Amino acid sequence: MTYTDIFSTITQQLEQAFPGYLVTGEDPSQGSQRPALFVEVIPLKITNGRYFKTKSLKVSIGYYSQNQTQGEYLLMAEALQDLFGQSLRTGGRQLTIDNLDFIIKEGVLQVGMQLVFQEGTALLELKNSKGQAQYMLPDQERGYTQESIALPENLEY
């Protein structure tokens, strides 16, 4: 799963939920069409482990309302809570959304959420004589690649 996958999923969900709204990754503050939703995905941190990576990112959604009224902001806040309340399904996975943060700043309702997810390390796979899969971690420095490994039962002595 990539950051682009997450961005695409969020923009698609917004386009479906709010037809007629401009949904964009470009800041619409300079005289663009209103109402508009500006989506930004910001990678925050990658922590590499032996068997997996932990990635965190921030998603920011800016709502540029038609008339900049309190009522519009409150309705949109509730609609976004309903849409993204607890999870985001993307790339065949369900990512948990722990919280949504809201603030109105300079006439824009800004919504923020942080996503944290893990990606496993690709494993090497070999089948034994019984057809059972055996797995090991790749290691280029030690020569453990899919092409260079063999099970003991398949080694020539």
Question: CA distances (Å), 64 to each of 32, 79, 81, 101, 118, in order?
Answer: 9, 14, 17, 17, 33
Of the listed ranges 30-39, 79-88, 90-99, 144-153, the least confidently predicted one is 144-153
Confidence (pLDDT) at 118: 86
SS3 call for 120 = strand
- Per cent of the chain over pLDDT 90 is 50
Question: CA distances (Å), 75 to each of 38, 63, 65, 78, in order?
Answer: 17, 11, 11, 5
The separation between CA 49 and the C-alpha centre of its own chain, rounded to angstroms, equals: 19
Instruction: For 106-139, write each residue's pLDDT tens digit.
Output: 999 999 999 998 887 666 777 777 888 777 666 6
Hey, what domains does the chain have and what are their CATH numbers? Answer: 3-120 (3.30.2000.10), 124-154 (no CATH)
Question: CA distances (Å), 6 to each of 25, 61, 77, 104, 129, in order?
Answer: 12, 13, 20, 24, 41
The separation between CA 129 and the C-alpha centre of its own chain, rounded to angstroms, equals: 40
